[in-house]
Amino acid sequence: MLLDLRTIYFIVAVSCLVLGMLQLAAYATGRFERWPLWWAASNLLVGIGSLFVALREFVPSYVSIDAGNVVTIAGYMLMFFAVRVFAGRPIDQRYCWAAIVAASLPIVLFVGDPSAVSARLLYVSVICGLCDLAIAREAVGLARRERLYSAGLLVGLYATTTAIFAVRSFLAATGKIGGPDPFGSSPVHGWIAVSAVVFVTLRNMTMVLMAAERSWNKLMELAHHDALTGALNRGGLAEQIPSLASQPVSLLVIDIDHFKLLNDRHGHVTGDEILRLFADVARGVMRNGDLLARQGGDEFLAVLRGASRDEAVAVAEKIRHAFAMAVMQLPQLTVSPTLSIGVATRTEGHADFQRLVQQADVALYRSKREGRDRVEAFSEDREAA
């Protein structure tokens, strides 16, 4: 089946221009970050470049050849910068535009001859393939850092188009496509061009999916975490409890001593600072996989997966000492907050978690009664006595 390349270029141009305008409209709402602006600019430039190429023989060669390929390369490179902006990675616009100019110059200086179709196809294919490879690499980083499953789709799409551009480069280098007529009768070139329409659409859909998934993740983060300290809230801890059902755990119930008096004398700003300080200190001591939750006010729970009673007591003591050292670094306080900690351990996987909380509470109250600033572990024998 022979496909008309000029028509396909027109379809690519219209698709990119429409998508670019939609993304500009989305950015103008102010509800998104800056990446739609970069992505819109990318689509608009690729659309304009494809339109210039499609108008060959109807417009001067410096428009259809030089401007068409230069604008297409600029649009393709902006696609890479758009993904970097989405990933939150820094971009120096001076280097951005310098790279675009450097990549565009050979089109004008070396392959600007209207008859050098294969050379231009080879050069543009190599540049676009390298851009796609770089974008696939950025998407891999996104998938790892933010656990965006849709970023895996982006990796697949750009890895595929990298392979397509490699095939296009080979065909151009061997003279199988190109020649004096850019819209020649090569069926392979036609199908490669058709794939561009499909991938332009799929890439844009995937970017929208990634933005939606990121927004969902942020909502879940806000719903399950305490905004002040970053620790889990009650709802967040409740979500994690089923995953603890099949394993032994130790629980620390931690209370900041004299916290109300601290608030009264130094104000809530200082109180908030102490809460954040404690959360940072506790996370610095706890292991990967352990959970820290704020129960409300100045009370926290720390869930230590697979920790024995002695190990839990040792962790609790480290937290208490580390917090005391951190408080000493603060400006002079008339009230010095300390930690009272109750420890309880569940050795059987399916024992009731709420019962474990009650046992740790009992140990905490004993720590309070015996002078505060101490760690007490729950013991059935001791409580019975």
**Least trusted range by pLDDT, from 50-64, 65-79, 177-191, 254-268:** 177-191
pLDDT above 90 covers a percentage of the chain that reads 56
Rg (CA), the chain: 31
**Least trusted range by pLDDT, from 88-92, 322-326, 340-344:** 88-92
* pLDDT at residue 186, rounded to an integer: 67
pLDDT digits (tens, 9 = 90+) for 59-84: 888 888 888 889 999 999 999 999 99
Q: What angle do CA 320, 326, 330 make, to 5 degrees?
A: 135
Highest mean pLDDT among 53-67, 90-104, 317-331: 317-331
Indicate if the pLDDT at residue 188 is higher than 90: no
* pLDDT at residue 1, rounded to an integer: 45
C-alpha span between 13 and 220 (Å, rounded): 39
CATH code linked to domain 5-224: 1.20.1070
* pLDDT at residue 160, rounded to an integer: 93
Q: Is the pTM of this model over 0.85?
A: no
Indicate if the pLDDT at residue 166 is higher than 70: yes
CATH superfamily of 234-384: Reverse transcriptase/Diguanylate cyclase domain (3.30.70.270)
* pLDDT at residue 381, rounded to an integer: 56
pLDDT digits (tens, 9 = 90+) for 223-250: 999 999 999 999 999 888 888 877 889 9
Listed by start position, the domains of the chain span 5-224, 234-384
Q: If pLDDT is split at 50, 70 and 90, which confidence band does 366 have?
A: very high
